[in-house]
Chain A
């Protein structure tokens, strides 16, 4: 259910609760009002006046519509696509008429405007529904899945060989630790090779990170120190798997391995209202000469976050004097809400 792979009828309608979708609706409607004002006005000084007049009517309709659609979003997705479209058009008609009727004293719209208003409302609604239909087809499940799979098939060979080497070196001297390490490796590779298109709870990702870091610590010993701040993390928040782990791999590769001195990788996860923040920091030295791989991993993660959360997720990377920081923000979505 938490998958991108939903039934096609439902995916033709956008998720009206998504910030990106709301913004798109408002931006497109505003652009249309500008076009309408340009068509109506004869010279540039009249343009602004015309536009204010049109926007005063259209913007309330757009905002009320966006709020209403957001409210009934999950219900709309459960009914058939055609009925949903009809209902949305009817609702838009109702909202337009209501705004024109009750806004008349303030907006001073003549009754002769009503017919035109209704026509524009229906036309705009159909255009927008058509636009989201096309957009969702373009990002259709098959295509999205193909992209997701391509993005995920990037297990780093370095890590596999490093781990095998570390385990090999333990077998004779410390067989028990070797066993534990192999168990960690098995878990990690189970996730790495699994079908990771579904969102998974944050708690699982953190557990995976711990196993990964335990393996790296075998190799690097005290050079790798980890500072966990995850006591207040929302364990049930859903996120795409393998977002934090590759970033930690980067942190170890760029922040810890190039130095003989011990370094600290810190992981800080918390939530502020309905947003989950994940902040990873690692030491950074300017003379390091391998950035290319890093950018690829960031691009990959950014794209996967966008496929799942659209404009509601952010990934920000910052280079300080001696620190590198990646800050990820995703909406706090719980398993039972999807």
Chain B
């Protein structure tokens, strides 16, 4: 089946029977144009690992999956140097589908029909690439990971591991207990998306509520003192801006 111009396809679904069904249908399509099945993945995470080593032209991506759903996976894979076209698959008339129609995002409703799959793949190379802002708009829930591109691969950072986010000039520093990463996002966007998990302690800094261990009063040079946040697993202490001191009190209640 290997053919220089074969369309390289990846199937992503958490349910094995669903993948095998798409595989059968791809074989049927292969009679009319060359298709190469590059691989299969059972989660968004697996997909990103797979694409790091084996590039693909088209990803057939299930929307509802555990750990990382299809919509979030699609956002991360846009970080790849040459992101594949994405065709979402879904079993139900999700409310998201209206948004898909609106933004001309390709999708197939399961049970997938051979004819529809055939059409979608024929158009695949011409499919308008997904746009990040569109994906942001049609994904109502906050992501579970942030991602950075490193050496042609997408690196994932679980949001629950993040200790703080700090705005730099063009980037945001993402600090976990072990490492530091730079992501190209805006701090205020992140603050909006993760309003439940993070709290602003400074004009340029958000800390993860779950990792706040305590607060300390630190004497400043002019004899004035200010509060600093102590985070679980970090030696670094982050200053709380004078205007946002009230959060110390709010935390004080919950930490006691």
Q: Decide if A and B are genuine partners.
A: yes
Task: Give residues in A with beta carbon < 8 Å to B.
Answer: 157-158, 161-162, 164-166, 168-170, 172-173, 218-221, 257-260, 289
B213 CB to nearest chain A CB (Å)? 20
Task: Provide the bound-state CA to CA distance between A259 and B110, in Å.
Answer: 21
B149 CB to nearest chain A CB (Å)? 24
| Interchain residue pairs with CB less than 8 A apart (16) | A158-B92, A161-B91, A161-B92, A165-B91, A166-B15, A168-B111, A169-B18, A169-B20, A169-B21, A172-B24, A173-B20, A219-B15, A219-B18, A220-B15, A221-B16, A258-B66
Q: Is the CB of A260 within 8 A of B66?
A: yes
A162 CB to nearest chain B CB (Å)? 6
Q: Is the CB of B141 within 8 A of A164?
A: no
A235 CB to nearest chain B CB (Å)? 33
B76 CB to nearest chain A CB (Å)? 17
B56 CB to nearest chain A CB (Å)? 22
B14 at the interface (CB under 8 A from A): yes
Instruction: Please name the residue on chain B nearest to A157 by beta carbon.
Output: B92
Known: A168-B111, A258-B66. A289 touches B91 (CB 8 A): no
B17 at the interface (CB under 8 A from A): yes
Q: Which residues of chain B come closer than 8 Å to A257, judged between CB atoms? A: 64, 66
A148 CB to nearest chain B CB (Å)? 27
A213 CB to nearest chain B CB (Å)? 15
Task: Provide the bound-state CA to CA distance between A80 and B228, in Å.
Answer: 82
From B17, B43, B141, A165 is in contact (CB under 8 Å) with B17
B235 at the interface (CB under 8 A from A): no
194-240 of chain B: CB within 8 A of chain A: none
Q: Is the CB of B111 within 8 A of A161?
A: yes
With A169-B17, A219-B18, A221-B16 known, 20 other A-B pairs at CB within 8 A are A157-B92, A161-B91, A161-B110, A165-B18, A165-B111, A166-B17, A169-B18, A169-B21, A172-B24, A173-B20, A218-B17, A219-B15, A220-B15, A221-B15, A259-B67, A260-B14, A260-B43, A260-B66, A260-B67, A289-B141
B29 at the interface (CB under 8 A from A): no
Task: Provide the bound-state CA to CA distance between A219 and B24, in Å.
Answer: 17
Task: Provide the bound-state CA to CA distance between A169 and B112, in Å.
Answer: 11
Instruction: Please name the residue on chain B nearest to A259 by beta carbon.
Output: B66
B42 at the interface (CB under 8 A from A): yes
Task: Provide the bound-state CA to CA distance between A289 and B66, in Å.
Answer: 12
Q: Which residues of chain A come closer than 8 Å to B64, judged between CB atoms? A: 257
- The secondary-structure label for the interface of chain B is loop
Task: Provide the bound-state CA to CA distance between A257 and B67, in Å.
Answer: 10
Q: Which residues of chain B come closer than 8 Å to A169, judged between CB atoms? A: 17-18, 20-21, 24
Once A and B bind, how many residue pairs between them come within 8 Å at the CB atom?
46
A1 CB to nearest chain B CB (Å)? 40
Question: What are the interface flags for B59-72 relative to A under an 8 Å C-beta threshold, 1 for contact and 0 otherwise?
Answer: 00000101100000
Known: A219-B15, A259-B66. A165 touches B42 (CB 8 A): no
Q: Which residues of chain A come closer than 8 Å to B67, judged between CB atoms? A: 259-260
Q: Is the CB of A164 within 8 A of B43?
A: no
Q: Is the CB of B91 within 8 A of A219?
A: no
Q: Is the CB of A260 within 8 A of B42?
A: yes
Task: Provide the bound-state CA to CA distance between A204 and B110, in Å.
Answer: 32
Task: Provide the bound-state CA to CA distance between A77 and B15, in Å.
Answer: 55
B106 CB to nearest chain A CB (Å)? 19
Q: Which residues of chain A come closer than 8 Å to B18, judged between CB atoms? A: 165-166, 169, 219
30-47 of chain B: CB within 8 A of chain A: 42-43
Query: Nearest 3 pairs between A and B by C-beta?
Result: A169-B17, A169-B21, A161-B91
Task: Provide the bound-state CA to CA distance between A157 and B15, in Å.
Answer: 18
Q: Which residues of chain A come closer than 8 Å to B110, judged between CB atoms? A: 161, 165
Q: Which residues of chain B come closer than 8 Å to A258, judged between CB atoms? A: 66
Task: Provide the bound-state CA to CA distance between A170 and B18, in Å.
Answer: 9
A255 CB to nearest chain B CB (Å)? 11
B42 CB to nearest chain A CB (Å)? 7
Task: Provide the bound-state CA to CA distance between A164 and B18, in Å.
Answer: 11
Instruction: Please name the residue on chain A nearest to B160 by beta carbon.
Output: A287
Q: Is the CB of A168 within 8 A of B92?
A: no
Task: Provide the bound-state CA to CA distance between A166 and B43, in Å.
Answer: 18
Task: Provide the bound-state CA to CA distance between A168 and B114, in Å.
Answer: 12
Task: Provide the bound-state CA to CA distance between A259 and B14, in Å.
Answer: 10
